[in-house]
Structure 1
Amino acid sequence: MPIDVVCWMHVDITAEHTSEYMDQKYYFCSSKCKKEFDDAPDRYLGVKSPMKMPE
């Protein structure tokens, strides 16, 4: 069973609210969680932007 990456609830695979990001499908318990994810997916997936190394 998929997990909503915003609120960590278990979500049925037939969930109405889904998004695709980087060729992966994500399932959400509500339109609110879907919108939060769509606005900033990297926040919920742990993707960090590259850091500039000090010179």
Structure 2
Amino acid sequence: MPIDPVCGMELSPSDAVATVQHGRTTYYFCSEECQQRFEEQPTIYTE
């Protein structure tokens, strides 16, 4: 199961509110807020 990289919540892809493709990876998010935080500074959550 994917984990929201911002808040650490485990969620199934079908439950994700949003997704973002970064590099070769698709990230799944529990909320639009988490998605926005990720998009503002993706390197904080991917390194």
| Corresponding position of 1:49 | none
Percent of matched pairs sharing the same residue: 39
Structure 2, unpaired ranges of 5+? none
Judge which range, 28-37 or 6-15, deviates more: 6-15
Q: Distance in 2 between matches of 1:16 and 1:4?
A: 10
Q: Which structure's relative contact order is higher, taking Cα pairs within 8 Å and 6+ residues apart?
A: 2
Q: Report which of the two structures shows the higher radius of gyration computed on alpha carbons.
A: 1
The alignment's C-alpha RMSD in Å is 0.8
Structure 1, unpaired ranges of 5+? 47-55
Spell out the pairing of 1:1-55 with structure 2 (5 A cutoff): 1-14=1-14, 15-46=16-47
Question: Higher helix proportion, which one?
Answer: 2
Q: Distance in 1 between matches of 2:39 and 2:21?
A: 9
Provide the aligned length of Structure 1 versus Structure 2: 46
